[in-house]
Amino acid sequence: MHERAARLYDAARPIGADIVVSLPRSYFDRPVTDIARELIGAGLFVAGVGGRIVEVEAYDATDPASHSFRGPTPRNAAMFGPAGHAYVYKIYGIHFCLNIVCQKGSAVLIRALEPSEGVGTMVERRGLMGEKQLCSGPGKLAQALGIGLGHNGMPLDAFPFEIRAAEQEHAIGVGARIGITKGAETPWRFVLQGSPFLSRPLR
């Protein structure tokens, strides 16, 4: 487990109690690329449905690819709100994407999960079998977890959300982000090295 996460857990857990707690929202009020790295291997659950995060991307207000680049608007307001909350937006008219707000104007886009809890529910929502395709992309993941615009701005350390810090050591792959034109060279995509649950291989 990352050192900072471990300290927060210890502070939140009564001595002797074996309770798993969600990372507190204050955890996310730090530089977005640090958090993006630390989120690889972290557990993400919505009403108990979810699994390990295996792919994320970082965005901040200095970044021409970011929704926050040109300042606050009604759509991106959550990115300028408190850290540790959700920024959910609709893309291409059909899909939703889930981001974790970090320092003001920055967020981590959650792009892929390794499903572990509530797989049956995910299969139902996605209308297909095959664990590798349930959450292998931001729109797929949002659909599998039941994420919609109603989740925009919600705190991530309270129901229905739960985020647990990664517990194991693992190799992290770094590369260019996917599907953008501006800022395309910025290496702010982070993946769990070798995971079969990525949206696309690293490049």
The SS3 assignment for 139 reads helix
- The reply to whether 173 sits near DNA by the rule CB under 7 A is no
Give the closest residue to 112 by CA, choosing from 102, 97, 94, 124. Answer: 97
Using CB under 7 A, pick the residue from 76, 84, 105, 161 that binds DNA: 76
Provide the token pair at 186. 């910025």
Q: Which of 110, 111, 114 is nearest to 132 (CA)?
A: 114
Is residue 133 involved in binding DNA (CB under 7 A)?
A: yes
Q: Select the residue interacting with DNA from 12, 119, 123, 180 (CB under 7 A).
A: 180
Binds DNA (CB under 7 A): choice among 177, 188, 190, 192: 177
**How many whole angstroms separate alpha carbon 68 and alpha carbon 159?**
27
Name which position in 4, 30, 37, 90 contacts DNA (CB under 7 A): 90
Binding of DNA at residue 85 (CB under 7 A)? no
| Binder among 20, 48, 62, 91 for DNA (CB under 7 A) | 91
Task: Identify the bridge partners of residue 159 per DSSP, sorted by sequence position.
Answer: none
DSSP 8-state symbol, 135: S
24-53 residues in contact with DNA (CB under 7 A) are: none
Instruction: Look at strands 172-175 and 107-117 and give their pairing.
Output: unpaired
Binding of DNA by 178 (CB under 7 A): yes
Q: Judged by CB under 7 A, does residue 125 bind DNA?
A: no
Contact 195, 55 (CB under 8 A): yes
Q: Is 55 in the site for DNA (CB under 7 A)?
A: no
What's the rounded Cα separation, in Å, for the pair 56 and 188? 8
Q: Which of 1, 8, 21, 65 binds DNA (CB under 7 A)?
A: 65
Lookup: tokens for 200: 């696309």
Q: Which of 14, 16, 93, 130 binds DNA (CB under 7 A)?
A: 93
* Smallest separation (angstroms) from DNA to the CB of 25: 20
Return d(Cα 147, Cα 82) in angstroms, integer.
20
Binding site for DNA (CB under 7 A): 57, 59, 65-68, 70, 73-76, 90-95, 97, 99, 107, 109, 111, 126, 128, 133, 137-141, 177-182, 199
